[in-house]
A and B are shown apart, each in its own frame.
Chain A
Amino acid sequence: MLKLLLANRVAAVAGLLVVAFVMVAIMAPILAPCDPNEQHPEAIRAAPFWRADGDSRFLLGSDSLGRDLLSRIMFGARISILLGVVVVLLTLLVGTGLGMLAGYFGGAFDAVMSRIVDTLLAFPFLIFALAIMAATGPNLVALVSALAFKGWVDFYRVARADVLAAREADYVTAARGVGASTAYILFSEILPNIVPPLIVLAALRMAIIIIAEASLSFLGIGVPPSIPAWGTMVADGRADIASAWWIATFPGLAILTLVLAVNLFGEGLRDALDPRMRQ
């Protein structure tokens, strides 16, 4: 009993942390000490405030253009969370929709889909993303497409497998016996039952998307440089790692913390939903 509570406590704390990040992102304009794009030429590469040579104006230090890191990190949360949510929602809808159709109707559609999935999986995500972004230049829509390109496959598989199993279940047979239409069965009967694992998957995918977006931004082909983004900040700080290591380190720490919180929360969700499902 004690262990059960403990595990849930960790997940709860993680959930709170995620909420905290979201709140910071939303209220960044109010919370941030400086404008994230404002340069302070007199205080470039300032050290964090706890160091002897630190500057108390810049709690986490400043980058090579004199911009406050703390403010940039706060604003960076906005794009990471926004993109994460948008991409996950998109892939969730597309993947689940296609998966439900493939699982319920099977046949040629299913066969064709599995070929497409096989091919997509063999495709290295990064190359596709690189190609698109290199072609279109820094462009948020293209970025979302690149991130969503392979992302829907996980949702597709889970939805398809669950629908396949549900198809033969008693409650579906009963619904058909009463004369329910296919659409009704799919949306009102089957869908509610397959939602829990999809939610868990959404949380875990969110973590992956956040890292993917950061990686693309790091390579310079993600978020446009005018928008503060964690990946871009790490790339900016790369030149100074020998002297001003904090410029590259702290944004990455922000990524790590958010992703860790999302992962822990997702796992907590999974544990909470699972045993109850197995009744």
Chain B
Amino acid sequence: MWGRFLRQRLLQLIPVLIGVSFIVFLTMHLTPGDPIEHMLGQAGRVTQEQIDELRAHYGLDRPLIVQYGLFLGNAARGEFGPSYSHHGRTVRSVVAARLPATLELTLFAFVIAIVFAIPAGVIASLRPHGLFDRLATVGALLGISMPGFWLGIVLMIIFGLQRHWLPISGRIDLALIPEYVTGVHTLDALLTANGPAFWSALKHLALPGVAMAAPMAAMVMRMVRSSMIGVLAQDYVQFARAKGLPETTVVGKHALRNALIPTVNIVALQTGLLLSGNMIIETVFQFPGLGKLAVDAIAAADYPLVQAVVLIYAVSYVLLNLVADALHAALDPRVQIA
């Protein structure tokens, strides 16, 4: 059953990826920016021959269909060719160098959002319109009404500049970079028992992480709250109490599990948005990750790099939905998958 589900979903991944890559491909190639010009920008005077030669070298003189075909073929093997804006490096190596940073930041934001939102939503639902609920609701409304880039800047001002508690740019104190194991600094620091590096990385994650997590935490909290309120009114909750179960079990086991079912979908949706917000936050905090990479690459008309990054985002999105559906089915025995 699970095997069939996985196979079906992964098969659905392919047309979506093709669609996405096609859109990006078209957009990049049909818009006026010329990568060759960017590449040669600093080189002073160049002859037409040199330009044509460079163009042929990168295969940019072939018909679009052919270029797309080649691109797809290579992409399927994980080959994206050389980067136009990072000279001498392949797209793959550039992306691989930046991916762990974004993974780390996104995971951090995800964890903060969930750890904060779910308990808050549960507690708020226990006494609707009570003090905690009102505060939480106001907080949530603020969370979804604030532009991410502004929150980031305000956090920078308050915690980084007026009180020098937290750093406001970069991933880690450059003097403290831990030994390379995975590229994820916090993990590497833990694996190599490097305390100072761990704390430095964590401190650098704090502000961008919170800025990214805020809108997601707000939406998830609201979903959990409204879901729990509905669930707590159900008969099976009353029956659980009639069985003599302690209130913590009634709420934490019987009610919560049912409330999480619709919540999983919201979490998946929000995590997808987390990836979008990632680009802005990384730019605000000069965080060297995939998001900032993408923003710069588009400006430089670095097609292969942009395409690779977009593909990564698309794959993440589909995988996210897959996980969400799987969780949904695991939580709710009434749901049929595949």
Contacts and interface: CB of A to CB of B under 8 A. Distances in A.
Nearest to A218: B149
Given A131-B24, A131-B298, A134-B31, A121 B147 contact: no
Given A215-B147, A260-B141, A119 B295 contact: no
A134 B299 contact: yes
A136 B33 CA distance: 9
A242 to B, nearest CB: 5
A151 to B, nearest CB: 13
B157 A127 contact: no
Given A131-B31, A134-B298, A255 B150 contact: yes
A241 interface: yes
B327 interface: no
Given A123-B23, A124-B313, A256 B146 contact: yes
B44 interface: no
A253 B143 CA distance: 13
A119 B294 contact: no
B24 A115 contact: no
A249 B154 contact: yes
Interface string B270-294: 0010011001100110000000001
Given A126-B279, A127-B309, A260-B141, A134 B156 contact: no
B279 A3 contact: no
A238 B27 contact: no
B154 A252 contact: yes
Interface string A186-220: 00000000000000000000010001001100110
A128 to B, nearest CB: 7
A248 interface: yes
Nearest to A242: B161
B16 interface: yes
Interface in B216-247: none
A19 to B, nearest CB: 18
A140 to B, nearest CB: 17
Interface residues of A, number: 40
A132 interface: yes
B150 A135 contact: no
B276 to A, nearest CB: 5
A160 to B, nearest CB: 18
A193 B309 CA distance: 43
A87 interface: no
B41 interface: no
A25 interface: no
B32 interface: yes
Given A123-B20, A219-B283, A249-B153, A135 B31 contact: yes
A130 to B, nearest CB: 5
A128 B317 CA distance: 15
Interface in B85-135: 129
Nearest to A135: B31
B147 A214 contact: yes
A62 interface: no
Given A121-B317, A260-B141, A131 B150 contact: no
Contacts of A123: 20, 23, 310, 313-314
A71 interface: no
A234 interface: yes
B6 interface: no
B306 interface: yes
Contact of A130 (B19, B129, B298, B314): B298
B125 to A, nearest CB: 16
25 contacts: A115-B15, A116-B19, A118-B16, A119-B16, A122-B16, A123-B23, A124-B276, A125-B276, A126-B276, A132-B31, A134-B299, A135-B31, A207-B145, A211-B148, A214-B150, A215-B148, A218-B149, A234-B149, A241-B153, A241-B157, A248-B157, A252-B146, A256-B142, A256-B145, A263-B141
In order of increasing CB-CB distance, the 4 nearest A-B pairs are A135-B31, A252-B150, A119-B19, A260-B145
